[in-house]
């Protein structure tokens, strides 16, 4: 299983991996877990237990705005001021480098200039990284290429709260699928209705803790 604790799920459902009679049920549980992992990833905006590499993304700087006065010192080619702060839609966990200028030759950017580390400063620190980059002593061009590790890239480890949430979700979802057409489980006089596992506090908090907040630009 990708996220859930396989042994714990099978124990919770009284299934044994060495029992041939449980083979089809276990196969079904594994399929459920795979689908739930995809759903969890979509809810939080990233995946886990995968190795990611630094990625280069082209970031478009916000359009210039008209000045209230003529005292703003940072002007673009058209004469309108441009902000020295680059706001990122997705936070940056770590920065490798920033490149500006250059031209696209059909396969890659060439002749660009890599900024030195004293030309910018990471800012707007949040739990998932930095949402802003300040240009020191100047303003940003219309587009720059930022290379680094982004918050929505896969995370190499599997947090304990994600593992426990997925273990619970997998077992409870399997139980839901075994319910009667009336959505009931258990023998007569001991019937229970399966709960919605996505509303369980542990699951809700795991999603809240790991969800990537994106900025609308």
How high is the pLDDT of residue 189? 57
Q: Higher-confidence residue: 195 or 63?
A: 195
Asked if pLDDT for residue 160 goes beyond 70, the answer is yes
pTM above 0.85, yes or no: no
Return the percentage of the chain with pLDDT > 90, whole number: 65
> Average per-residue pLDDT in the chain?
86
- 82: Cβ contacts below 8 Å, ≥ 6 apart: 61, 64, 74, 75, 76, 139, 140
The residues that bridge with 104 in the sheet, in sequence order, are: 109
* pLDDT band at residue 159 using 50, 70 and 90 as cut-offs: very high
Q: CA–CA separation, 217 vs 87, rounded Å?
A: 8
Written as six digits, the tokens of 3 are: 């996220």
Q: What number is the average pLDDT over the span 118-132? A: 93
Q: What number is the average pLDDT over the span 111-133? A: 93
Which residue in 190, 117, 124 sits closest to 151, CA to CA?
Answer: 124
How high is the pLDDT of residue 82? 65
Q: What number is the average pLDDT over the span 201-209? A: 96
Q: Give the pLDDT confidence of 48-91 residue by residue, as tens digits.
A: 999 999 999 999 876 444 444 444 445 555 455 567 889 999 99
How high is the pLDDT of residue 71? 46
Q: Higher-confidence residue: 187 or 126?
A: 126
How high is the pLDDT of residue 178? 80
């Amino acid at each position: 299983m990708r996220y859930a604790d396989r042994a714990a799920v099978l124990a919770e459902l009284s299934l044994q991996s060495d029992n041939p009679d449980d083979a089809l049920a276990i196969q079904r549980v594994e399929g459920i877990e795979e689908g739930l992992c995809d759903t969890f990833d979509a809810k939080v905006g990233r995946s886990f237990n995968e190795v990611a590499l630094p990625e280069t993304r082209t970031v478009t700087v916000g359009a210039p705005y008209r000045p209230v006065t003529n005292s703003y010192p940072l002007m673009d080619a058209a004469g309108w001021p441009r902000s020295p702060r680059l706001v990122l839609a997705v936070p940056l966990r770590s920065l490798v480098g920033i490149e500006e200028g250059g031209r696209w030759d059909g396969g890659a950017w060439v002749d660009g200039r890599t900024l030195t580390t004293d030309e910018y400063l990471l800012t707007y620190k949040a739990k998932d990284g930095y949402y802003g980059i300040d240009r020191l002593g100047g303003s940003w061009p219309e587009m720059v290429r930022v290379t680094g590790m982004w918050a929505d890239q896969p995370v190499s480890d599997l947090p304990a709260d994600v593992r426990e949430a997925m273990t619970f979700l997998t077992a409870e979802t399997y139980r839901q699928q075994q319910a009667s057409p009336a959505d009931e489980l258990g023998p007569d006089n001991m019937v229970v209705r399966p709960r919605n596992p996505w509303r369980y506090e542990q699951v809700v908090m795991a999603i809240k803790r790991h969800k990537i907040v994106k900025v609308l630009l």
